[in-house]
Amino acid sequence: MEPLELRPQFPILGRTVKGKPLVYFDNAATSQKPQCVIDALGHYYSHYNANIHRGIHTLAEEATLAYEAARFAVQDFIGAASVEEVIFTRGTTEAINLVAYTWGRENVAAGDEIVISGMEHHSNIVPWQILCEEKKAVLKVIPVLDNGELDMRAFKQLLGTKTKMVAVVHVSNSLGTVNPVKEIIAAAHEVGAKVLIDGAQSAVHLDINVQDLDCDFFAFSGHKVYGPTGVGALYGKKDLLEKMPVFQGGGEMIKEVTFEKTTYNDLPYKYEAGTPNIADTIALKTALDFIKEIGKDNIRKHEDELLTYATAQLSAIPGLTIIGQAKNKVSLVSFVIEGTHPQDIGVLLDNMGIAVRTGHHCTQPLMKRFGIPGTVRASFALYNQKEEIDVLIAGLQKAIKMLA
Amino acid sequence: MEVKPIVEIEKDIVEDFALFDSWEDKYEYIIDLGKKLAVLEDQYKIEENKIKGCQSTVWLTASFDNGKVIFKADSDAVIVKGLISMLIKVLSGHTPEEILAAKMDFIGEIGMMTHLAQTRSNGLLAMIKQMKNYALAYKMMEDTKK
């Protein structure tokens, strides 16, 4: 199946915005959903909605099976050794917070160091900042080079015996840079540090194999992989997850509760307190199956073509500078245009039915690094087509003319 | 100089916008307003005059002259600047009471309601709030004098 042939399966792509056909280039923020995912949600609520794991009736059993099947699908999607290593969360942000609050509380002490990079999303900065403040630990930042790659030499100099955690983004949401995470993980392990990979942007584009990467934690969000919002997953190595303290207390995560003492459930339930997001988790499996059926190779090939085409077309616009020109990039272009503010461009493009992201993309330190208030970002998905990039280019030319 | 009542100025703007039959004309007009907005001197472009929002930077300052509030503002984004220019046109030069009572219905009537959305809050919503805050402060100042 060719990626583009799947376009009709995304009903939203058929709508118009301000009277023009929608051009959706905000896929790095959230991808659109195929009909099968939308149907999976409806089917759950209209056929087997029930609370899972506890009920003995048919509906509860069907829901439990579907929910747990999603866990196997995630295991397969990221190449985890065991299904117990997959914990469902609300998304990447919650997954990172879970690690910072549990593993972090137990393993980070005063004077210890946590290494992040200069291109992190606020979600992979703030939880570590909170932890550092509480523990009087030190946050170290890997510098970003002018081309949008990480300064790997500086990174290696940051590592030391005090480094307890290296938390880096796999693919930058602002620049599109694919970071050499395997090399980062190996170097961090040499000094005995653990590594968390923020896979929010990478999971949809790259083949993920957490065993091959040898990362200790990996987090991603469902809504960026053609799945629903409100569900994501945390992968953690089993021995680490077993030792970590619990995150939230409540139902599901317990084995036995007495007023004197509570014993906790086994993995992965230990970290899933309360009734989980059953419907969205089940539909996440549908999304992952959908990706698997098309094949990430096919998706990537198509998206790479779009990226190459967009990069060439955008570069031809006078005064336009692409922010992030790493050798290894995925499916997004971030840029600024001389004499214009990203927000003005975004407002005008919106009137032409073109959805792009403008602003700091929740990476304010990175924007500061490049000395810009923000960028215009066009990010592509499997259903986007070259003709849409032509629409964007024409739209940009029009916007520039209007603003001149 | 006698200033028109706020509702009258709003009515004028709504009438102006009624003449535009395309979004391009409407935005070109706003962009033009933005470019023509009186320069805000650098001394006012300071942290405490900044209205923090998601995307663009807006500076707003006010002075009180003869019972009327005078607003001055600037932004690094020209469409926002154009919108600010309209707010200034409507509210500047009026008494604190008049400003506080202003409903600002014209924004919806000229189809700029989306600029009030939270993500673009510094475009208009935060601006209006800040302008009314100034009005309230001057009103209280006046009241204590009485």
CATH classification at residue A216: 3.40.640.10
So what's the pLDDT on residue A259? 86
The alpha-carbon gap from B28 to the nearest alpha carbon of chain A, in Å, equals: 6
pLDDT more than 70, % of chain B: 90
A251 confidence band (pLDDT: 50, 70, 90): confident
Q: B79 vs A344: CB contact, 8 Å cut-off?
A: yes
Residues A301 and A223 reside in one and the same domain: no
Q: Is residue A32 part of a domain?
A: no
Taking alpha carbons only, the member of A297, A404, A352, A337 closest to residue A21 is A352
Percent with pLDDT over 90 in chain A: 89
| Best mutation target, A340, A343, A350, to test chain B (most B CBs within 10 A) | A343
Structure tokens at A393: 């280019």
| pLDDT confidence of residue B121 | 47
Residue A18 within a domain: yes
Chain B nearest C-alpha distance from A19 (Å): 11
Residues A259 and A351 in one domain: no
Using the beta-carbon criterion (under 8 Å), do A341 and B76 form an inter-chain contact? yes
Q: Does residue A348 belong to any structural domain of this protein?
A: yes
Question: Using a CB-CB distance cutoff of 8 angstroms, which residues of chain B are in contact with residue A351?
Answer: 23-24, 27
Residue ranges of domains in chain B: 6-145
**Cβ atoms of residues A154 and A126 within 8 Å:** no
Cβ separation A373–B27 shorter than 8 A = no
Last residue of a domain, one of A249, A274, A292: A292
Contacts of B80 in chain A (CB under 8 A): 343-344
Phi and psi angles of residue A164, each rounded to the nearest 5 degrees, phi first = -105, -30
- All residues of chain A having their beta carbon less than 8 Å from the beta carbon of residue B31 are 344, 402-403
| pLDDT (0 to 100) of residue B107 | 87
Which has the closest alpha carbon to B69: B117, B102, B37, B107?
Answer: B102
Distance CA A67, CA A111 (A): 42
- 8 Å CB contact between A124 and A167: yes
Contact list, B56 vs chain A (CB under 8 Å) = 341, 343, 373
Decide which of A243, A277, A292 is a domain's last residue. A292
Question: In this structure, is residue A33 part of a structural domain?
Answer: no
Do residues B81 and A368 lie in contact, with contact meaning Cβ atoms separated by under 8 Å?
A: no
Interface test with A, best of B22, B35, B56, B74 (most A CBs within 10 A): B56
Full DSSP string of B54-118: SSS-EEEEEEEETTEEEEEEEESSHHHHHHHHHHHHHHTTB-HHHHHH---THHHHTT-GGGGSG
Residue of chain A with shortest Cα separation from B80: A344
- Domain B6-145: state its class: alpha beta
Interatomic CA distance for residues A361 and A375, integer angstroms: 8
Position B54 pLDDT exceeds 80: no
Name the residue in chain A with its Cα closest to that of B35: A403
Which residue of chain A comes nearest to B82, CA vs CA? A344
pLDDT at B23 over 50: yes
Which residues are CB-contacts of A311 (< 8 A; sequence separation ≥ 6)? A322, A333
Q: Tell me the residue range of the domain where A225 lies.
A: 38-292
Which token pair is A309? 């085409």
CB contact under 8 A, A402 and B77: no
CB B101, CB B113: distance < 8 Å: no
Length of chain A: 404
- Give the integer Cα–Cα distance in Å for A53 and A278: 11
Q: Do B78 and A358 touch (CB under 8 A)?
A: no
A374 CB neighbours in chain B (<8 A) are: 55
Q: What is the pLDDT of residues A3-43, one digit of tens each?
A: 778 999 999 999 999 999 999 999 999 999 999 999 999 99
Instruction: Give the pLDDT mean for B47-71.
Output: 88
Residues 6 or more apart whose CB falls under 8 angstroms from that of A170 comprise A178, A179, A181, A197, A198, A199, A201, A202, A206
Residue type, A385: Q
Same domain, A268 and A307: no
| Co-location of A173 and A54 in the same domain | yes
Residue B23 sits at the chain A interface (C-beta within 8 Å): yes
| pLDDT (tens digit per residue) in A95-131 | 999 999 999 999 999 999 999 999 999 999 999 999 9
Number of domains in chain A: 2
- Catalytically active residues of A are 362
pLDDT of B115 strictly over 70: no
Please tell me if residue B55 touches chain A, with a CB cutoff of 8 Å: yes
Please check the confidence at residue B119 and state whether its pLDDT lies above 60: no
The answer on A205 and A309 residing in a single domain is no
Q: What is the ipTM of this complex?
A: 0.88
What is the arithmetic mean of pLDDT over A359-380?
A: 92
- Considering the domain architecture, whether residues A271 and A370 belong to the same structural domain is answered as no
Neighbours of A15 (CB within 10 A): 10
Give counts: helices (H), strands (E), chain A. 14, 17
**CA-CA distances (angstroms) from residue A49 to A36, A37, A53, A58, A367?**
18, 16, 13, 10, 45
CB contact under 8 A, B27 and A342: no
Q: Does the pLDDT at position A369 exceed 90?
A: yes
Tell me if B76 and A402 make a contact (CB, 8 A cut-off). no
| A interface residues, B as partner, C-beta within 8 Å | 18, 340-344, 346-348, 351, 358-360, 373-374, 402-403
Which of B20, B21, B25, B27 best probes binding to A when mutated, by most A CB atoms within 10 angstroms?
B27
pTM of the model: 0.93
- State the Rg of chain A over Cα: 22
Chain A contact for B80 (CB, 8 A cutoff): yes
Both A317 and A247 in one domain: the answer is: no
- Among A292, A310, A343, give the residue marking a domain's end: A292
Domain of A340: which CATH number?
3.90.1150.10
Q: Write down the pLDDT at residue A370.
A: 94
Looking at the predicted structure, is the pLDDT value of residue A243 above 60?
yes
DSSP three-state, residue A278: helix
* A31 is a domain residue: no
Q: Which of B28, B57, B120 sits opposite A402 (nearest CB)?
A: B28
φ, ψ for residue A284, nearest 5 deg = -65, -40
Q: Is B54's CB within 8 Å of A373's CB?
A: no
Question: Does A232 map to a domain?
Answer: yes
Positions of B annotated as catalytic residues are 54
Residues A310 and A359 in one domain: yes
